[in-house]
Amino acid sequence: LGAAAGAATAWGLVRGWRAEAKALAALYGTATKMPAALRLAGPGDWCDAGVRDDGDAAAMVAPVSVALSGGGADWGPVLEVLRREGVVVWSGGLPPDAVDAARAALRPLLDALEASYDPAGDSFALARRRWCVTRLPRVGRGKHNVHLDPYGSPTHAAVTELARRGRLEELLTAYRGRPCRLSEVGLSVTRPGTLGEECGEGMEWHSDGAEGSCTVLTSLDPVAEEQGPLLLAPRSHVRYTRGEAAPEAALQGAGPTLRYRYRPGSPVVMDARTLHAAADNVSSSWRAVLWLIYDEDVEGGGDEAAAA
């Protein structure tokens, strides 16, 4: 994966196991289809600066830069947007050296995934035990979730260290008003449009879970528009309901949707109820995005309990 050329070499998009059931439903035709009027096309919905093209940068989601020192006061601007919109792009929230360390730790695994991919079977001939991968489910055409083993895995350790350096647990504990713990870690990889007969598939609108959970999505390299941006529906978390038709209903009542081309060190932090989606990867490069799931620490189990 590291051999792709130019600025398009990047990784892009993902979600945790909660979305896998929805992804499989979408794959086999049972999930709610996105109405044509709600589909996004073109790069203009979210510009590189992270603000909406209509100039309404403050009213909805916008990157928020905060210092990583100084205690709880750091979270003020981030929490304000997260509580109002259900999602925030935290500009510069992850330390550059921690991003570099995670990239170095994950690169061998990503290269191994590329080398072992079979386009005809849309599968990987990966030695999962060697690479400390517990599960590798297919969640769409050319799209797979990679679940990292929390026991003795250098890749899992690198991601959790990145989260620790970014103080994500502290942030989400402040958001929820009660202790939150990292419960699951993984990444999603999507094949380029040059492999197989069709491009790597995106993801239809979905939520990752109910109240009490949060999702963090982040890339380790820039993601180009052609690789498939992340699509966001701010304030949809307040309209969250369970059921197959819930995404369509929530989108119909929400405001303008946004799109975000991942940038290293600027994670997307969202309430698990917030609707989000992904565009197809029509580029010539693979894309990968880390996903981290945080749950309220009601039993004190954390990541190990989730992995049991």
Residues 193-214 pLDDT 10s: 887 678 889 888 888 888 889 9
Those residues with Cβ within 8 angstroms of residue 290's Cβ, 6 or more apart along the chain or in another chain: 14, 102, 159, 162, 185, 186, 187, 216, 217, 218, 219, 220
Query: Among 28-37, 183-192, 218-227, 250-259, where is mean pLDDT lowest?
Result: 28-37
Query: Among 27-36, 64-73, 99-108, 171-180, where is mean pLDDT lowest?
Result: 27-36
pLDDT band, very low/low/confident/very high, at 157 (cuts 50, 70, 90) = very high
Query: Among 118-132, 158-172, 239-253, where is mean pLDDT lowest?
Result: 239-253
pLDDT band, very low/low/confident/very high, at 56 (cuts 50, 70, 90) = very low
SS3 category, 65: coil
pLDDT band, very low/low/confident/very high, at 252 (cuts 50, 70, 90) = low
For residue 211, what is the DSSP state? T
User: Quick one: pLDDT at residue 8?
Assistant: 33
User: Quick one: pLDDT at residue 93?
Assistant: 86
SS3 category, 296: strand
User: Quick one: pLDDT at residue 49?
Assistant: 28
User: Quick one: pLDDT at residue 243?
Assistant: 56
Q: Which of 194, 219, 217, 196 is nearest to 5 (CA)?
A: 194
User: What percent of the chain clears pLDDT 90, i.e. is strictly above it?
Assistant: 44
Q: Which two tokens stand for residue 294?
A: 């945080």
pTM, 2 dp: 0.75
Query: Does residue 242 carry a pLDDT above 80?
Result: no
Amino acid letter for position 51: V
Query: Does residue 236 carry a pLDDT above 90?
Result: no
Q: Whole-number mean pLDDT of the chain?
A: 74
